[in-house]
Structure 1
Amino acid sequence: MKAYLFPGQGTQFLGMGKDLYKNSHLAKKLFQLSDEVLGFRITSVMFEGSIDTLKNTKYTQLAIYIYSVIKAKTLNNFEPDMVAGHSLGEFSALAAINVFSFEDGLKLVNQRASIMQDICELTHGGMAVVFGLKDSIIEDVCKNDHGVIVPSNYNSPEQLVISGEIQALRRVCFYLKKIGAKRIFILPVHGAFHSPIMEPVQKKFQKIVNKIYFKDSKYPIYQNVTALPVVKSYDIKKNLVKQLTYPVKWKQSIKNMMDHGAVSFTEIGPGNILQGLIKKIKKLYLKKI
């Protein structure tokens, strides 16, 4: 069975989408539609802007969504048996399988990025990738800290991202290094995504989601919040809103997809960051069986 995966923030690159624009009539039409819907030239940011501008959350999320969905829609024989998207990639996956329209997904991502940016400016949060410690150890250390700090991305058997208040993040990272973490990398973001710090924007995003028409999915989507296959529009909406404060259960999603018959995993989006995670997940999973 074929699984298609869509990446999240951090996979952007300068000039992304330019080749698609030049070589596909459909791609060109969708890029132009993006500029119209947003009311500014996101294509200029993607094709010719500076890398610093593209790193801005407001533009990054839009650029990755647009690129990924257009890439999927211009593929020959895009007929997945199942799909999944990493964080922001969940929106790309849902548009690619027509749960909502390309334009509605664009509006969702734009407003999501905006409210996330707003909360980031009001709070002092951050994220860090921890390598080489068991999930249970990291979970316990976060739980025992007196600040707001939680596991936020279960990326692979060797990699767990934590998210929270800056001071709590520093304390926990220092302690994790002390007790044996192989490496800790502070992510270049200015927010504590997928953590309780995002709670103030959840109701606002719920209202935004409620205005968008969602269809039941033709293909099961393994959503970040549950790591389980979902097809009903009501459940998809609910999980999208929860995603703001819940951890991304990526390795659990991939394992469940494999359990349900996935043999090939095709990444659709800029870069191939998810392929590296898949290799590590497969390696551990196949070793156990």
Structure 2
Amino acid sequence: MVNVIGLDSDKVQQLCDAANQDVDEDNKGNYAVSGGVMGVEAVEAKAKSFKARMIVRLVVAGAFHTSFMEPAVSRLESALAAIEIRQPRIPVISNIDAQSHADPATIKKILARQVTSPVQWETTVKTLLAKGLKKSYELKPGKVQINHCLLNYRTRAI
């Protein structure tokens, strides 16, 4: 994965489309930029011509939230089938569709879909703001810095 910094979402999509023309990987779609190694390298190579301020390669174990993760879906579905999920007592907004869901079966389906679906972070935050969110905290493991640019973070898949 790489973070593309300094471009709006339309330019990031144009950058991904241009990078996709240079690689044979069929993985269209979303917004950090995630995909195969050749696709990520193509985005890095083309980003300056799109006037991106900088590109930051993310140290991750895979092309999360893309079709490259499809083999993990069935294993997660099996694990989810073996556990009980109860109806939430407070609304929990899904980052797949930026909506709250209360049905445990639906929640399990959404959790499995997260593996290959783009994260709708901006839409999720806008939904939270529309529902009255005034203050939030983002907790991350280890020494990862907190993301303060909530509305400027998007994910695209290549």
Q: TM-score range with shorter-chain normalisation? A: 0.7 to 0.9
**In 2, Cα distance between the equivalents of 1:269 and 1:150?**
28
- The two structures have a TM-score, normalised by structure 2, of 0.81
Give the alignment of 1:38-187 within 5 angstroms.
127-144=1-18, 145=20, 146=23, 147-149=25-27, 161-187=32-58
Larger RCO: 1 or 2 (CA < 8 Å, sep 6+): 2
1:236 aligns with 2:107: yes
Which of residues 71, 84, 88 in structure 2 aligns to 1:213?
A: 84
Greater Rg, structure 1 or structure 2?
Answer: 1
One-letter amino acid matched to 1:211: A
* C-alpha RMSD of matched pairs (Å): 2.2
Aligned residues: 146
Alignment partner of 1:223: what SS? coil
2:139 touches 2:146 (CA, 8 Å); kept in 1?
no
Residues 94-146 of structure 1: per-residue CA shift (max 9 Å, x gap):
xxxxxxxxxxxxxxxxxxxxxxxxxxxxxxxxx10101112122223324514
State the TM-score, normalizing by the size of structure 1: 0.46
Helix, strand or coil at the partner of 1:129: strand
Deviation, 1:266, is: 3.4
Identity of aligned residues (%): 27
Measured in 1, the distance between the counterparts of 2:34 and 2:29 equals 6
List gaps (5 residues or longer) in structure 1.
Answer: 1-126, 155-160, 283-289
Structure with higher strand content: 1
Q: Is the 8 A contact 2:11 2:50 kept in 1?
A: no
Unaligned runs of 5+ in 2: 153-158
Q: Partner residue of 1:245? A: 116
Aligned 8 A contact 1:223 1:229 in 2 = yes
Per-residue CA distance 1:36-70 (angstroms, 9 max, x = gap): xxxxxxxxxxxxxxxxxxxxxxxxxxxxxxxxxxx
In 2, Cα distance between equivalents of 1:189 and 1:228: 27
* Equivalent in 117, 120, 129 of residue 258 of structure 1: 129
Shift in alpha-carbon separation, 1:129–1:151, aligned structure 2, 3 A: farther
